[in-house]
Structure 1
Amino acid sequence: MTIGFPSRLAVSACALCMTGLLVCAPATAAAHTGSDPAAPGGPPVAAASPDLLYHSGTQVRPHRGAPRVPDVSALSWVVADAHSGEVLAAHDAHRRLPPASTLKTLFALTVLPVLPGGLRHTVGAEDLAGIGPGSSLVGVAEGRTYQVADLWRGVFLNSGNDAVHVLARLSGGWRTTATRMQATARALGARDTHVRSPDGYDTPGQVSSAYDLAVFGRAGLRNADFARYCGTAEAMFPGRGGWSYGIRNTNRLLTGADGVEPYDGLIGIKNGYTSHAGNTLVAAARRGGRTLVVTVMNPQSGGGFAVYEEARRLLDWGFGAAGRVDPVGSLDALRARPRPGPDAVPVAAAVAAHDDGPGWLETWAILGAAGLGAGSMAVALRNRVGGAARG
Structure 2
Amino acid sequence: PPSPVDSSEEPPPGEPSPAPPPVPDTPAGGERMDECGPVLPAGAPQPPEGLTAASWLVHDLDTGEVVAAHHPHGRYRPASLVKTLLALVTLDGLRADEIVVPTEEDANQECTCVGIVAGAEYTVDQLLHALLMRSGNDVAHALATALGGVKLTVRQMNELAIELGATDTHVATPSGLDGPGMMTSAYDMSVIFNHAMRQPRYAEAVATKEIMFPGGPGEEDFPVRNDNRLWGSYPGFLGGKTGFTDDARHTYAGAAERDGTRLAVVLLRAEQRPVRVAEQARQLFDYGFTLATGEGTDAVGTVTTEPSTPEPSDAAAGAADDGTGAGDGAVAAAGTGEQDPFGTTGWIVTLVVTVLVIAGLFVAHRRGLLRRPE
Question: TM-score of the superposition, structure 1-length normalised?
Answer: 0.69
Unaligned runs of 5+ in 1: 1-29, 32-47, 256-261, 338-350, 368-391
Q: Which has the larger radius of gyration?
A: 2
1:1-391 to structure 2, matched below 5 A, reads 50-62=30-42, 64=43, 66-71=44-49, 72-128=51-107, 131-132=109-110, 135-240=111-216, 241=218, 243-255=220-232, 262-300=233-271, 302=273, 306-324=276-294, 325-332=297-304, 335=307, 357=316, 363=333, 365=335
1:152 deviates by: 1.1
Unaligned runs of 5+ in 2: 1-25, 318-329, 338-374
1:214 deviates by: 0.9
1:281 partner letter: Y
- CA pair 289-198 structure 1, distance change in 2 beyond 3 A: same
1:335 deviates by: 3.8
SS of the residue 2:255 aligns to: strand
- CA pair 205-158 structure 1, distance change in 2 beyond 3 A: same
- CA pair 104-229 structure 1, distance change in 2 beyond 3 A: same
Larger RCO: 1 or 2 (CA < 8 Å, sep 6+): 1
User: CA separation in 2, counterparts of 1:274 and 1:301?
Assistant: 13
SS of the residue 1:185 aligns to: helix
1:310 deviates by: 1.0
Contact persistence 2:238–2:255 (CA under 8 A): yes
User: CA separation in 2, counterparts of 1:317 and 1:203?
Assistant: 34
User: CA separation in 2, counterparts of 1:296 and 1:91?
Assistant: 9
1:276 deviates by: 1.3
SS of the residue 2:194 aligns to: helix
- CA pair 221-124 structure 1, distance change in 2 beyond 3 A: same
Contact persistence 1:191–1:357 (CA under 8 A): no
**Structure with higher helix content:** 1
1:365 deviates by: 4.4
Give RMSD over aligned pairs.
2.9
Percent pairwise identity:
36
2:60 partner letter: D
Contact persistence 2:77–2:184 (CA under 8 A): yes
- CA pair 170-58 structure 1, distance change in 2 beyond 3 A: same
> Runs of 4 or more off by more than 3 Å in structure 1?
126-129, 333-337, 354-358, 360-367
1:125 deviates by: 2.5
1:94 partner letter: H
